[in-house]
Amino acid sequence: MNNGQYCSLSIDHCALNSLLLLDKPHGLSSHSAVHRIRKITGEERVGHAGTLDPMATGVLVILLGSAVRLSEWIVDHDKKYRATVKLGVETDTYDATGNVTQTSSVKRQSEEIRAVLETFVGKQEQIPPAHSAIQIQGKRAYKLARQGVEIEMQPRAIEIFSITNVEIENENVTFDVHCSKGTYIRSLAHDIGAKLGTGAHLAALRRTASGNFLIEQSLTLEQVSDAIAQNNLGKFLLPMDVAVSRFDAVYLNEAQTRALRNGQFIPAPQNLTTPLVRAYDEHNQLFAILERVSGNQLKPKKVLAQ
């Protein structure tokens, strides 16, 4: 993403097609963060991409207006975190919000801890926590877990690209982790404790990057409110097409825009290289995400503007 590519229009216009990077505070759910942004900005269509647990802080991509329809492509990114794992204490949620299920003494040398951390780098199968939002037979796993229902969570393929900047202080192990989408850092903490034989849980978590969206670009809720009061939030908003900039672009005339709005196919340019294509209307506004068909046609996959 071009870090300097911010929306320079007024908030009234930008809110229809923008991304806002929020530094989510501790204790607030992602859903509640969306509610707060909706109330602060007055924009009704607000969503988020890449859920953060209430105890976690950091980058939460907020979608404003038509950008909510791009969420499926925004979550398809790797993530970076600063995590603190507390050894010697296990909880039922694998993090500091849960009930303690087991404790043990921690007698491990720093070299041993670092060596175990290194074994988690690479492609692997990870079992998500039972206390998670994963659907199990149409119900959220955490709801079943709270009811005392025994749940067999299925492993999923993830990749941990790196674990760096490790700091060890007594029972607390803090590190930066770069991982694929779908990775549960709570499960990583639990698995580290299991491998060390000490047990562990996630004590603190801060997301520092979601794809190319960085914590340095993110605003706190207070900063969002201040920007609204000063009528300059627009300079912090990102055009929604930065979320799909990896797709090829086509520029449409009025007849093509009308055809796509009616669900019709249009001819595809010969120089396209990506399966999905971002389409701009005759006013140079992002209009739709298109899908290539048989190499020489484009069909609407998702029309953003109505």
- DSSP secondary structure letters along 29-80: -HHHHHHHHHHHH--S-EEEES---TT-EEEEEEEEEGGGGGHHHHSSS-EE
- Angle formed by the axes of helices 110-118 and 185-196, nearest 10°: 130
- DSSP secondary structure letters along 95-155: BTTS-EEEE------HHHHHHHHHTT-EEEEEPPPSSSS-EETTEEHHHHHHTT----PPP
Which is it for strands 17-24 and 57-65: parallel, antiparallel or unpaired? antiparallel
Q: Is 94 helix (H, G, I), strand (E, B) or coil?
A: coil
Query: H or E stretch including 218?
Result: none
User: How far, in Å, CA of 85 to CA of 113, rounded?
Assistant: 11
Tokens at 292, concatenated:
């290539």
Active site residue 53: yes
Tokens at 44, concatenated:
């009704």
Write down the catalytic residue from 53, 95, 241, 281: 53
Which is it for strands 276-280 and 266-267: parallel, antiparallel or unpaired? unpaired
Residues 6 or more apart whose Cβ sits within 8 Å of residue 281: 252, 254, 257, 287, 305
Q: Are 86 and 103 in contact (CB under 8 A)?
A: no
Query: H or E stretch including 277?
Result: strand 276-280
Return phi, psi of residue 300, to 5°. Answer: -70, 125
Instruction: Tell me which residues are annotated as active site.
Output: 53
